[in-house]
Structure 1
């Protein structure tokens, strides 16, 4: 669905919006859950964070395939996506556990999610700046 939305409004606005939404709401959502844990709150936070991730991912997958040259598209996309998934997904349980232990704050994993969103925002800006520069060079 969000891939289709990004076809209409553009990839960059969608990616920037959902990374900023994640950056702004991740820690408050986890803090709200930790303040009074319940199944209902867990479900609401999980649905919210899943919505943000799915919405971002719909445009991100298309963007990554568009920036890769056709000759290396499959390998390039697979490497970029798998590396990001391994680094952020693979180490998240250990980092979250460390953050909780180091800070005593059970909502600290929300800070890690904010960091991941900030990295996504920086990557989005770099990708679109690089694409703009390459377009300008090829037009000249």
Structure 2
């Protein structure tokens, strides 16, 4: 089942990258890149964490009603299209309000996607390896994509001189998730696996 596990890891890549970007890396980004105060950067991170709790169940509810796949595809496409413009918006005019607006948008993308992704990944995994497969896919994505997000974001800024360049990493993760979602659902449909999101 390694094909499904690796596909699941790529699906989770969007979740872990976005989460680490808007929570773990956000205070550093706000203070060192945007030159905001530590208290402002931390307050934005706190508000984003609260926002995550709001969007997660909404994403799950919408995926229950309309299917996992449409929500997953919509959020990954939106991320690819808007991540760089959103981050450019705040780096071109750094302020508490602009940082909050940008990261709340990212929180919306993350929360809606993750609310659909968790049940989707569970449903995609074969029953006989569901727990092990889910755990391994999530752990690999966290270690490879999420865990390296702060370092890669800092490196991108250093080598490009573009303060909005961390968006490229988020866009790459979203593309991985988009391609993986399409492939895994096609595989599941080909095998006749009954899935709520296979529409």
Q: TM-score w.r.t. structure 1 length?
A: 0.93
Q: Which residue number in structure 2 is paired with residue 16 of structure 1? A: 73
Tell me which residue corresponds to 1:110: 167
Secondary structure at the aligned position of 2:147 is classed as helix
Greater Cα offset, 64-73 or 126-135 = 64-73
Per-residue deviation, residues 24-76 of structure 1 (Å, max 9, x unmatched): 11010000010011000111111110110010011110111001122221111
Q: 1:63 aligns with which of 120, 129, 135?
A: 120
Cα distance in structure 2, aligned partners of 1:60 and 1:105: 31
Which of residues 146, 150, 154 in structure 2 aligns to 1:89?
146
Deviations 1:104-125 (A, max 9, x none): 1010001111111111101111
Which residue of the partner structure matches residue 101 of structure 2? 44
Q: Report the aligned-residue RMSD.
A: 1.1
Cα distance between partner residues in 1 of 2:156 and 2:86: 17
- What does residue 126 of structure 1 align with? 183
| SS of aligned partner of 2:163 | coil
Q: Distance in 1 between matches of 2:192 and 2:130?
A: 18
Runs of 5+ unmatched residues, structure 1? none
Higher helix content, 1 or 2? 1
In 1: Cα distance, 2:106 partner to 2:95 partner: 16
Point out 4+ residue stretches in structure 1 off by more than 2 angstroms: none
Number of equivalenced pairs? 136
Distance, in Å, in 2 between the alignment partners of 1:17 and 1:61 is 16
TM-score normalised to the size of structure 2?
0.66
1 CA distance for matches of 2:61 and 2:178?
21
